């Protein structure tokens, strides 16, 4: 089985290479950021890509976004997310096509090589592998659209609900207007509110906040 590995920590990357090779697989490429992952998958067409979530430059969700992009470009590409964190924002997109060949495991729950081997084989065969904690958080996010927001984004949305303008939010949070605009853009995206020339998205975001 041919594997592309994406992990930004050099020490963890080397450790994962050894584990994957102990599992009887060949690591054809090992990269440390999202764009390099997309390029490596296009070049090597691996049986499975093993992807960490938090990679440069922001160390938030670059790995998951790259995985979603890979699946968009090559439907059916096999992805095993192996991370310390559950990131629901893009995880839902990764599983949305229901095509299988996707897994999401937490690193601290992978206790031995046999477990990793089993996960790789199941994903490569088109199956789905999900950590119970991932299932729980994805389910909670589907019930509560605000669950995907960061604490800062919730704070900004709360101030929007109080009728604060962007300038007022800047003063309250002591941040730049650009930072506030970025947070608001993220809120709109995560709540599934499409671009609009009016204030409709702002109103809909506040209504979502007030309903929960």
Three-state SS annotation for 73-127: HCCCCCEEEEECCCCHHHHHHHHCCCCCCEEEEEHHHCCCHHHHHHHHHHHHCCC
Q: Which residue has the tokens 């309903």?
A: 211
**How confident is the model at residue 162, as a pLDDT?**
81
pLDDT tens by residue, 1-31: 999 999 999 999 999 999 899 889 999 999 9
Greatest mean pLDDT among 27-31, 142-146, 185-189, 199-203: 27-31
Using the predicted structure, report yes or no on whether residue 139 has a pLDDT greater than 90: no
The residue that leads in pLDDT, 158 or 4, is: 4
pLDDT at 43: 96
pLDDT tens for 64-120 read 889 989 998 998 899 999 888 777 666 777 776 667 888 888 888 777 788 889 999
Q: What is the pTM of this model?
A: 0.65
- pLDDT for 14 equals 93
Q: Report the alpha-carbon distance of residue 145 to residue 50 in Å, rounded.
A: 28
Mean pLDDT of 173-181: 92
Question: Is 166 in contact with 184 (CB distance < 8 Å)?
Answer: yes
**Distance, CA of 112 to CA of 196 (rounded, Å):** 50
The helix (H) or strand (E) run that includes residue 158 is: helix 151-161
Of 8-22, 54-68, 189-203, where does mean pLDDT reach its minimum?
189-203
One of 2.60.40.3880, 3.60.20.10, 3.30.70.3420, 3.40.50.2300 is the CATH number of 2-142, namely 3.40.50.2300
The DSSP string of 39-82 is: HHHHHH--SEEEE-S--TTTTSSHHHHHHHHHHHHSTT--EEEE
Q: Give domain 145-211's CATH number out of 1.10.10.10, 3.50.50.60, 3.90.1150.10, 1.10.1370.30.
A: 1.10.10.10
Average pLDDT of the residues of the chain: 85
Q: For Cα atoms 133, 138, 143, give the angle at the middle one, nearest 5 degrees.
A: 130
């Amino acid at each position: 089985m041919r594997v592309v590995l994406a992990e930004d920590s050099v020490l963890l990357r080397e450790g994962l290479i050894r584990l994957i090779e102990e599992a009887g697989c060949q690591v054809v490429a090992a990269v440390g950021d999202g764009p390099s992952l997309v390029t490596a998958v296009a070049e090597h067409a691996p049986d499975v890509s093993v992807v960490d979530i938090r990679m440069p430059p922001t160390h938030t969700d670059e790995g998951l976004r790259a995985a979603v992009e890979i699946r968009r470009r090559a439907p059916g590409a096999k992805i095993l997310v192996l991370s310390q964190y559950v990131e629901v924002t893009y995880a839902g997109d990764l599983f949305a096509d229901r095509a299988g060949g996707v897994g999401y495991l937490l690193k601290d729950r992978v206790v031995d090589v046999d477990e990793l081997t089993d996960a790789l084989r199941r994903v490569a065969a088109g199956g789905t592998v999900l950590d119970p904690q991932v299932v729980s958080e994805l389910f909670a996010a589907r019930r509560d659209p605000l669950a995907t927001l960061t604490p800062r984004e919730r704070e900004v949305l709360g101030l929007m609900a109080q009728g604060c303008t962007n300038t007022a939010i800047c003063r309250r949070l002591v941040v730049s207007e650009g930072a506030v605009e970025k947070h608001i853009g993220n809120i709109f995206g995560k709540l599934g509110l499409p671009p609009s020339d009016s204030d409709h998205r702002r109103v809909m975001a506040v209504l979502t906040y007030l309903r929960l």
